[in-house]
Amino acid sequence: MVATVDVRHETLRRLKSGTGKLATAALRELDADYRWFGELPAQERSWVGTVAQAGITSFVSWYANPTGTYRGALEIFAAAPPELTRSVSLQHTLSIVRTVVKVVEDNADELAAVGGEAHLREAILRYSREVAFSAAEVYARAAETRGAWDARLEALVIDALVRGEVDDDLPSRAAALGWKPGPTLVVVGRTHGPLGETQSAELRRSMRRAATGAMVGIHGEDLIVIARSDQDLRELASSIMESFGPGPVVIGPPAVTLLEVARSARAAFAGVVAAPAWSLSPRPVLADDLLPERVLVGDTGARDRLISIAYDPIVRAGGSLQETVATFLDCGRSLELSARTMFVHANTVRYRLKKVSELTGWDVLSTRDAHVLETAFALGRLRDAGRASL
């Protein structure tokens, strides 16, 4: 539909004089038709109003020169802050565009010069199509920028946690990634070989499908997952195992605060290094089940923890428990030889060892548990000897 020059000029004049009225009508339509608009905070409602006003102004400019350079949604969104793309989705933005188009279309008979009604409606349809496509481009660019920023922030947070540098700013940075204090799973392992950008992005998406807001760190072929979740953490760990490559996969100690997450991450990394020393270690394995091996690779935290949970409780219990465990281990884990050495019945030795199991959770009659207690006793004696010499 072609309009004469005079008709176009008159229609353009009417559009320019009616922009304020159209913007007000568009906001009324949004308030009446869309519940989400009414639930927006005042500031964000103001942003949407700015976008609606800009949309009408942009249409008027486009109508004045439809063959000129047109920046589409970039022009509309220029007056609104970048945060708008976070609080108002693309779907809602298209609703704004449709509302603006509808308002102009509803007022076409009043706005258009005589004989220009059909031409104005055709122009509205062409404009709405161009804006819809360019709005999608704006949101795609915003998502790309936000994704790059989130990736940098995620790497910064994980690096700080692994290094144990939990400062006052870290909680807010972690919160920006969706983490909040609560039961947190920390898992460390290896990837399936070197990963490119596409593979890394897919790995992150996979982890976040399993645990919303999971933080994923990829350093070379090292992989760490930090997932805040209210579901069973062992089940969560099992659900993400396929994402890890060959080699040990270690679950860090339970964590709730960021400081505990940092400790858990360091314990898990030490566990990955130490796990090969235990040929029968399960996969995944708890970092606390690798305490003796972690001591061997120089993990002082593992040394202190092993002494505190496997040696000190037995010493504090008093009586003959410490002597019985020490004798049993020194006698090659033989009940009969231990009994003869201490001049007691074998059943007495068995009874005392059962008490140790109830006290510590380790059964010295088990080969693996005996190894844990033997290491703990050796470390405890060294610590006690060092204190005595001071």
24 pLDDT more than 60: yes
Mean pLDDT of 322-336: 93
71 pLDDT more than 60: no
Query: Hunting for tokens 């996979």 — which residue is that?
Result: 206
pLDDT digits (tens, 9 = 90+) for 82-140: 666 566 666 677 677 778 778 888 888 888 888 777 888 888 777 776 666 666 666 66
What are the residues facing 189 on neighbouring strands? 223
Query: Between β-strands 184-190 and 215-219, what pairing exists: parallel, antiparallel or unpaired?
Result: unpaired
Long-range contacts of 19-28, Cβ-Cβ distance < 8 Å, separation of 24 or more: 19/53, 19/56, 19/57, 19/60, 22/56, 22/100, 22/103, 22/104, 22/107, 23/49, 23/52, 23/53, 23/56, 25/103, 25/107, 26/52, 26/55, 26/56, 26/96, 26/99, 26/100, 26/103, 27/52
pTM for the model: 0.63
Average pLDDT, the chain: 84
Q: Between 90 and 203, whose confidence is greater?
A: 203
DSSP-derived letter for residue 129 is: H
pLDDT digits (tens, 9 = 90+) for 124-169: 777 776 666 666 666 666 555 555 666 778 888 888 888 888 888 8
Structural domains for the chain: 5-145 (no CATH), 171-298 (3.30.70.2730), 305-388 (1.10.10.2840)
Measure the CA angle with vertex 170, ends 217 and 153; round to 5°: 45
1 pLDDT more than 60: no
Percentage of the chain beyond pLDDT 90 is: 38
| pLDDT at residue 286 in the model | 95
200 pLDDT more than 70: yes
d(CA 227, CA 207): 9
Q: Are the C-beta atoms of 364 and 373 separated by less than 8 Å?
A: yes
Weakest-pLDDT range from 93-102, 205-214, 257-266: 93-102
